[in-house]
Amino acid sequence: MFSEKELNLEEHQLREQIRRLSPLERSIYDALEIPRLKLASRYVQLNWLFPLGVHHFYLRRWVRGLLDLFLTFSVFLSLSSYAPWGEPNGLVGGMLFAALLLIEIPQMLNARLLVHSRNILMMATCLQSARSSALEQQSGTAP
């Protein structure tokens, strides 16, 4: 896992690089970064719907979100009369729900760090894209 101290140091280093961007690079960076950053508070709010995996979809973690949906569907299926094994089975449903909780509790406890880590990754991606886009624009206008 990652610590808040490491994330803050990495973010500080990125912000220093961003401050040194040219005006063209900075405008490209701002246009890329603003729509991609996610709010930790929204992620935490969505965590309350953890069985549906909505918080994973918010961070574009599709596989984790689909896993949550699959486990939730399996819990309901095992507790209903539509269970594939014929009889509703509370033990299987309980075990699947326990698995879902074991997967999601660390996500809930580390929500702020997960969002911070993802935002740093997006900042680095936007920085790289801004530099390459500015370079392409400058070389395209040169004689």
pLDDT in tens, 66-79: 988 888 888 888 77
Q: Quote the Cα angle for 19-21-23, to 5°.
A: 110
Residue type, 76: F
| Predicted local distance difference test score (pLDDT) of residue 12 | 96
Q: Whole-prediction pTM value?
A: 0.78
Helix (H) or strand (E) run with residue 34 in it: helix 23-36
Over residues 77-102, the mean pLDDT reads: 76
The pLDDT tens digits for 103-138 are: 888 888 888 999 999 999 999 999 999 999 988 888
**Which residue has tokens 């101290």?**
5
- Give yes or no for residue 83 having a pLDDT over 70: no
The pLDDT tens digits for 44-60 are: 888 877 677 888 899 88
The pLDDT tens digits for 8-64 are: 999 999 999 999 999 999 999 999 998 899 998 888 888 877 677 888 899 888 998
Backbone angles phi, psi at 88, to 5 degrees: -60, 135
